[in-house]
Amino acid sequence: MFSREQLYKLGIMAYLTVWYVGSFWLIAAIGSGLFEHTFGIDFIKFQDYLYYALAGAIGGTLYAMRLFHFYYDSLTERWVLWYILRPILCAGTAVMTIVLFESGIMLLEAKESVIAKIGIAFLVGFGYGKVMDKLKTLTETLFNGKDNSTDGDDKSK
């Protein structure tokens, strides 16, 4: 039979594959109007944000699959949780990053097209760790009045 580690590896690969392929399928399904009025929800009103979430999930899943392949022999239970959470966290972060760009809180020179924002959302998902570092710096700057990442002597942390 399969060992626990083999089951983890098989489960993670299946899970990430479902996220990856499923996100592309959902983008196509949403674009075709399959879910226009499902569950009493008018998906057309926030269709673009679904695209951003799915693009972020694709980016995060692609990054996770790459690392899964690279570190296949050193999988631990701690990393199993990381692989499970990665697509979900990347989807949410991609949407909120686009909201921050649209609100003017974060500035980026990009076209106002949905395709450009989908591209940004993908990059947010793929570079999730770096985006979180930037968001932390932005939060420190906005709410503390200074960037604490460059000041190692701050005792108020």
* Residue-wise pLDDT tens digits, 84-110: 999 999 999 999 999 988 888 777 766
Q: Which of the pair, 19 or 75, is modelled with greater confidence?
A: 19
Distances in Å between the Cα of 87 and the Cα atoms of 33, 98, 99, 150 are 24, 17, 19, 30
Indicate the domain borders of the chain. Answer: 4-144
C-beta atoms surrounding 98 within 10 Å: 24
73: its two tokens: 């022999």
CA dist 100 and 91 (Å) reads 15
Look at residue 148 and tell me whether its pLDDT is greater than 60: no
CA dist 94 and 37 (Å) reads 24
> At 124, is the secondary structure helix, strand, or coil?
helix
pLDDT digits 0-9 by tens, 45-74? 889 999 999 999 999 999 999 999 998 888
Q: Which of the pair, 41 or 114, is modelled with greater confidence?
A: 114
